[in-house]
Amino acid sequence: MDVFDNVISGFSSALTLTKLMYCFFGVFLGMMMGVLPGIGAMATISMLLPVTFYVTPDVGLIMLAGIYYGAQYGGSISSILLNLPGTPSSAVICLDGYPMTKANRAGPAIFLTTMASFFGSIFAILLLFTIAPLAARLALSFGATEYFALMIMGLVAAASLAQHGVMRGLAMVVVGLMLGLVGSDVTSGTFRLTAGILELADGFSIIAMAMGLFGVAEIMSNLSGTSRNTTTTRKIPLRDLVPTREDVRQSPGPIARGGIIGAILGILPGTGASIASFVSYGFEKRISRTPEKFGTGHVPGIVAPEAANNAAAQSAFIPTLTLGVPGDAVMALMMSALIIHGIQPGPTVITDHPDLFWGLVASFVIGNLMLLILNLPLIGLWVRLLIIPYRFLYPVIIMLICVGVFTVGNSQFDVLQVIFFGLLGYGMKLVRLEPAPMVLGFVLGPLLEENFRRALILSRGDLATFIEHPISAGLLLASLAIILFSLRGERKSIASKGNKAKTGDA
Amino acid sequence: MQFGNLIRKSVLGALAVGTTAVLAATSPVLADYPERPITMVVGSSPGSGPDVLARSMSEELAAALGQPVVVQNKPGAAGNVAAEAVSRGDPDGYEIFIGTINMAIATWLPAKPPFDPATDFAIVGRVASIPNVVVVSPDLGVNTIEEFVDLAKSKPGDLNYSSPGVGSLQHMGTDAMANIHGIDIVHVPYKGGKASTTAVLAGEVDMFMAGMPPALPQIKAGALIALAVSSAEEFPLLPGVPTLAATVMPDYSAEAWYGLFMAKGTPPEIVDVVNAAANKALADPAVAERFASAGAVVQTSTPADFAGFVAQEAERWKTNLEELGLAGTR
């Protein structure tokens, strides 16, 4: 069997002491940096890039990759404990993770997301071992029309992120879309709505936005006392770190679905972990029999997106290594690490450097096991963070956010953006508008527009292109079905509850 | 106590640093340069073309200067956020910007950055150049650039080409070729050179006058066919691929160039020190090898030569953009 050969050659290459050490170092550092708000994989990897010049390329890559997926594990921990996403892709974990903390269930929440991370990653790694080259073909079959249809589906999912009613959710999606308009327009090259500020040429910073809307806004509302839970979060019993039987029973389905969604979206260049986690949350809420429970500390609401963003982090390596097409900025960085070592990432990596490729994939398995073993005993420690009085915790968090956001682009302007989005998020909290649909609108908007216009250039203005391409037609049909299906559900719930249809299901 | 001591020490330290800085700024003798680490500012994210070049030469540059060289990324507006910051920075030689051809092009685009590449910097010297290469998918059925031109002529308005944006070198180069031969081919802009290359791989567009870094591995793997290069001479890593000048675009040559820039007003003595150190670093075969794997060719120059070249490029692309109707009105 080919697959067995791959597995064996991979592990025999990855199981050396040096590689194990660098793998451990990478995942440990990645996890820690993921926990720290604002400092993500990107900043950490760019700081450690020079280290890779002194080791062989495979060792360097194993370490950098470890940082990347390790950060995905860590990102959700601060989302759960402090309503403060460590990375943009774990922003959606706040929705149900933080309510669990408020209900004194932080321990089980972290336990479950750790398991979800592990199984989500393992699922994507299995894909890597078995169908990497085939999956890479899928990435190439996605053109402008297909991306457009996919973004439409993402937006349909976005509406369901709303917790305080559909209209409010949709309104925030629209605000997010509008914020996404800021920056240079890909099709014409002109700067839009930048107010002459050169720093806005590439649009608002997604990291600054996530940190401001979730983190800074949360801290401000706690300080001002508008949040009702300032006292409850202080008393966390250290027992009950282990989830209940009910929690465990609810998890496998969402983890599996999240893993599949994440693995598929991770393969597509340009989508990545953030969209995967939002979409899988939306999807889980759609198919749930109890959508009203989402947002109140519902277990599927944390495990599905967590499985998805970890799966996406692993499968993002497929196009990078097999096609030489990086899925996101971090992947581009890893490719440059290879280039500096004289290895051209591209279609020939698997055949020219099989040890490197399969060794890296095997190191993913090892790294994820390490993360699992590392994380479970640490849960108690993480939860203890909540005992730190706010007067110490908050200044430290604000400082970390500012430092983290600054390191991404070495830009003071990005720190100003955090303040802007912090104030905006606080204002939104006062009038009960939610940030999650807005962030998703912001992420999807530019991709939606860019691909829509590109598809129309390619079809010479013919709108039929979206239904002539089978993948795009299928995705659009599915989106339509979701809307019709939920409209029916909405009508039912209105009929049964009279005018008080505040389920948030759309 | 301990803490008080620490504070006193830091205050004294800060004072000392401050005084040295003032002395350095006022002292006419610059013999001490460099006496602290130097920052090499990259205007794009880690892993981008200029970033790879900066990191590929930073060690050797540090050795030549006798001080550590720290690469710092400050991405934004195709490198112009960083360029502007460096241009207005302290003229003390501790910030070196690795500038690109974008400085000469973007200056004349509608959203004009507040600097002139030729006059608002202390220009240090050239580092590298990266030619463009015309690539097509093997499925298109053409093997030479002449065949491609014939195909495009026979199907007016049917073929597409990608580029990393309006006014990019890749866009303007293809447009120039289309003008010479009266070809009607549609421009489809993408976000970056890698996405533009992927579009050809996937068959979404037919041709891309690509930058070397994303195209080279695909050419080596046979996933793309290289038809011609945009440099005046053949590209060493692609022997046998003719130049555009020798085939369909007589006298044409255009390459992405990379060079070092410092703040306006940096003393010429410091510029000379950095120029000499950079040229020494670039002479190291290890650097040339790393540049080659990034698709770049090492190029060195004197500060004056490079300054002349930058002024010439700025003028050239200004005219070019005006012809395209893209030049700035501000």
The answer, yes or no, to whether residue B318 has pLDDT greater than 80, is yes
Q: CB neighbours (10 Å) of residue A230? A: 14
Two structure tokens written together for A393: 């915790």
Partner B, chain A 29-88, Cβ-Cβ below 8 Å: 42, 45-46, 49-50, 53
What share of chain A in percent tops pLDDT 90? 35
- Helix, strand, coil content of chain B in percent (nearest 5): 45, 20, 35
pLDDT of A5: 82
For residue A340, the chain B residues in CB contact (below 8 A) are: 52, 55-56, 290, 293-294
In the stretch 3-22 of chain B, residues with CB closer than 8 A to chain A read none
A 371-430: CB under 8 A from B = 409-411
Chain A residues within an 8 Å CB radius of B213: 339
**Number of structural domains found in chain B:** 3
Cα three-residue angle A128-A133-A135, rounded to 5 degrees: 70
Does residue B329 belong to any structural domain of this protein? no
Which of A64, A202, A454, A472 is the mutation pick for testing B, counting most B CBs within 10 A? A454
Q: Is position A207 within any domain?
A: yes
Across the interface, whether the CB atoms of A339 and B293 are under 8 A apart is answered yes
Is residue B311 situated within a structural domain?
Answer: yes
pLDDT tens-digit map of B40-97: 999 988 778 899 999 999 999 999 999 999 999 998 888 989 999 999 999 999 999 9
- Residues B126 and B264 placed together within one structural domain of the fold: yes
Phi, psi of A148 (to 5 degrees): -60, -50
- State the average pLDDT over residues B303-310: 97
Evaluate whether residue A3 is within a structural domain.
Answer: no
Once rounded to an integer, what is the mean pLDDT over residues A444-452? 91
Are B39 and B124 within one domain?
A: yes
The band of A492, judged by pLDDT with boundaries at 50, 70 and 90, is low
**B123 and B179 in a common domain:** no
Domain count, chain A: 1
Flag whether B243 is in a domain. no
A350: closest chain B residue by CA: B221
pLDDT value at A273 more than 90: no
- The answer to whether B80 and B106 have CB atoms below 8 angstroms apart is yes
Question: Are residues B205 and B70 part of one domain?
Answer: no
CATH at B199: 3.40.190.10
pLDDT value, residue B96: 97
pLDDT at B196: 93
pLDDT, tens digit (0-9, with 9 covering 90-100), for A41-66 = 877 887 787 778 788 888 999 999 99
Confidence at residue A505, expressed as pLDDT on a 0 to 100 scale: 42
DSSP string, A474-496: HHHHHHHHHHHHHHHHHHHHHHH
Range(s) of the domain holding residue B10: 1-26
**Residue B19 pLDDT more than 50?**
no
What is the β-pairing status of strands B160-163 and B207-211?
parallel
Give a yes or no: residue A1 inside a domain: no
Output the pLDDT for position A336: 77
* Helix, strand, coil % in chain A, rounded to nearest 5: 75, 0, 25
CA dist., res. A57 & res. A41, Å (int): 19
Chain B residues whose CB is inside 8 A of the A142 CB are 202
- Does residue B96 form part of some domain? yes
Mean pLDDT of B238-253: 95
**Is residue A503 a part of any domain in this protein?**
no
Bridge partners, B188 (sequence order): B162
Task: Write the pLDDT tens digit of every residue in A327-351.
Answer: 677 887 788 788 777 777 777 777 7
A54, A184, A450, A453, best to mutate vs chain B, most B CBs in 10 Å: A184
For residue B29, is pLDDT > 60? no
Identify the pLDDT of residue B110. 66
A290 HSE (CA, 13 A, CB side): 10
Q: What is the pLDDT of residue A443?
A: 85
Interface test with B, best of A61, A191, A336 (most B CBs within 10 A): A336
* Average of per-residue pLDDT across A198-213: 89
Chain B residue with CA closest to A46: the answer is B46
pLDDT of residue B301 exceeding 50, the answer is yes
> Quick one: B121 and B160 in the same domain?
no
Q: Is B64 on the interface with A (CB under 8 A)?
A: no
In a domain, A505, yes or no: no
- Nearest chain A residue to B57 by CA distance is A340
Model confidence pLDDT, tens digit, residues A355-402: 888 899 999 999 999 999 988 888 888 888 878 888 888 898 899 889
CB contact under 8 A, B217 and A345: yes
Quickly state the pLDDT bin for B111 (edges 50, 70, 90): low
Is B246 within a domain?
A: no
B43 shares a domain with B115? yes
The model's confidence at residue A231, banded by pLDDT at 50, 70 and 90, is: very low
User: pLDDT-based confidence at B20, cuts 50/70/90?
Assistant: very low
DSSP H helices, chain B, are 2-26, 49-65, 80-87, 102-106, 145-154, 169-181, 193-201, 212-220, 268-282, 285-293, 303-324
pLDDT at residue A266, rounded to an integer: 87
How much is the pLDDT for A158? 66
Q: Which residue segment(s) compose the domain that A153 sits in?
A: 10-389+396-497
User: What is the enclosing helix (H) or strand (E) of B227?
Assistant: strand B225-229
Q: Touching check for B45 and chain A: CB below 8 Å?
A: yes
Mean pLDDT of B91-112: 86
- Most B CBs within 10 Å: which of A49, A148, A182, A325, as the mutation test of the B interface? A325
Q: Which two tokens stand for residue A329?
A: 């900025």
pLDDT at A105 over 80: yes
What is the rounded average pLDDT for all residues in chain B? 88
Residue A230: the pLDDT is 45
- pLDDT at residue A141 in the model: 85
Q: Decide if A5 is inside a domain.
A: no
Contact A347 B221 (CB under 8 A): yes
In this predicted model, what pLDDT tens digit does every residue of A425-436 receive, in sequence order?
999 999 989 888
Mean pLDDT of chain A: 85
* pLDDT of res. A444: 86
Q: Which of residues 184-243 of B touch A (CB under 8 A)?
A: 186, 188-191, 194-195, 197-199, 201-202, 204-205, 213-214, 216-218, 220-221, 223
Residue B79, in any domain of the structure: yes
Predicted confidence at residue A269, as pLDDT, reads 73
Comparing B18 with A407, the larger pLDDT belongs to A407
β-strand B186-189 against B255-263: which pairing, if any?
Answer: unpaired
Confidence of residue B3 (pLDDT cuts 50, 70, 90): very low
* Nearest-Cα residue of chain B relative to residue A187: B189
For residues A499 and B170, the model is more confident at B170
* Residue B259: predicted pLDDT: 97
> Are the C-beta atoms of B209 and B132 separated by less than 8 Å?
yes
Exposed/middle/buried for residue B106 (C-beta within 10 Å: 0-12, 13-18, 19+) = buried
Distance from chain centroid for Cα B99 = 6
List pLDDT tens digits, range A285-317: 888 888 889 989 999 999 999 999 999 999 988
Please check the confidence at residue A161 and state whether its pLDDT lies above 80.
Answer: no
Q: Please spell the DSSP secondary structure of A276-302, one letter per residue.
A: HHHHHHHHHHHH-S-GGGTTSS-THHH
Whether B294 maps to a domain, the answer reads: yes
pLDDT band per the 50, 70, 90 thresholds, residue A493: low
Task: Provide CB contacts within 8 A for B209, sequence distance 6+.
Answer: B132, B133, B134, B135, B161, B163, B170, B173, B174, B177, B230
How far apart (Å, rounded) are the C-alpha atoms in residues B183 and B148?
11
Tens-place pLDDT, residues B180-229? 999 999 999 998 888 899 899 999 999 999 999 889 988 988 999 999 99
